[in-house]
Amino acid sequence: MTAPTSTTETEVTAVCHVRAPLLLEPVDRQVETLQACESEGTVDDLLLRSWPKEVSLSESTPHQEVLETYDRLTGWAERQGVSVEPPFRERTTTSQVTGETKELLVTPLLCLEVYADDELVGVFPHSAADETYTTDEAIASLRTGDLPTPIEGDAHVEGTTSGGCPACDGSVVDGQGLYACPDCGWVGTVSETGQYVSHSKPDESSARRIATPEAPTQ
């Protein structure tokens, strides 16, 4: 890993996803430490989000935000050359009554996104080869005033500015340095080497407290 960056050099946002109401040790301890980071100023904004244990991998699921988060995190992992599976896991279940088969996404007890100046710079835990960067390690770095530095895997290059949208190959609009695709909603910037870099941050208008997910509509 490269040398860590001090959190005083950038605006840091941490998004913590947990399975509510399972705020028990060690999850409760990790959340409390993150709240201490915000109080002490090593994290500028802390957003707490809850998700259910399992989410249907279908367009009809009432938990589309969870699937959008999953896509964002796996997209980051692909570009970084690491994996977030586990802690995420996909499984298939078949009803013994109807015979219907469903694809489910199993969420981790706790997952952490770290943003520096609105750019997603880390998802924890993640792994590459035999190495794993845990949420405990990431939170410990934040507590000491350092940005956690992800494992350097075999990074995937999204593309260059000479091509179209790296997500759907559609037309990209340049909005004074911030590029956007009107077809799929991809948003990003361009690195010093001319490569597109995703620049997507969760909506901060959501409540900062942990709320139990709404029950699916019958």
When pLDDT is cut at 50, 70 and 90, the band that residue 100 belongs to is: confident
pLDDT (average), residues 149-168: 63
Q: How confident is the model over 18-44, as pLDDT tens digits?
A: 886 655 556 788 889 999 999 999 999
Structure tokens given for 140: 């410990």
Distance of CA 128 to the CA centre of its chain: 17
Tally of helices (H runs) and strands (E runs) in the chain:
3, 13
When pLDDT is cut at 50, 70 and 90, the band that residue 207 belongs to is: very low
| Domain segments of the chain as ranges | 7-156, 157-203
Q: What is the largest CA-CA distance in the chain?
A: 57
192 residue type, one letter: E
CB 134 within 8 A of CB 124: yes
Residue 195 above 50 pLDDT? Answer: yes
Share of the chain above pLDDT 70, in %: 71
Q: Is residue 200 within a helix (H) or strand (E), and if so which, with residue range?
A: none
How far is 43 from 35, CA to CA, in rounded Å?
Answer: 9
CB 189 within 8 A of CB 176: no
Class of domain 7-156: alpha beta
pLDDT score recorded for residue 94: 85
66 residue type, one letter: V
CB 196 within 8 A of CB 190: yes
Q: Read off the pTM.
A: 0.65
SS3 14: strand
Structure tokens given for 7: 């959190």
Residue 67 above 60 pLDDT? Answer: yes
How far is 120 from 12, CA to CA, in rounded Å?
Answer: 10
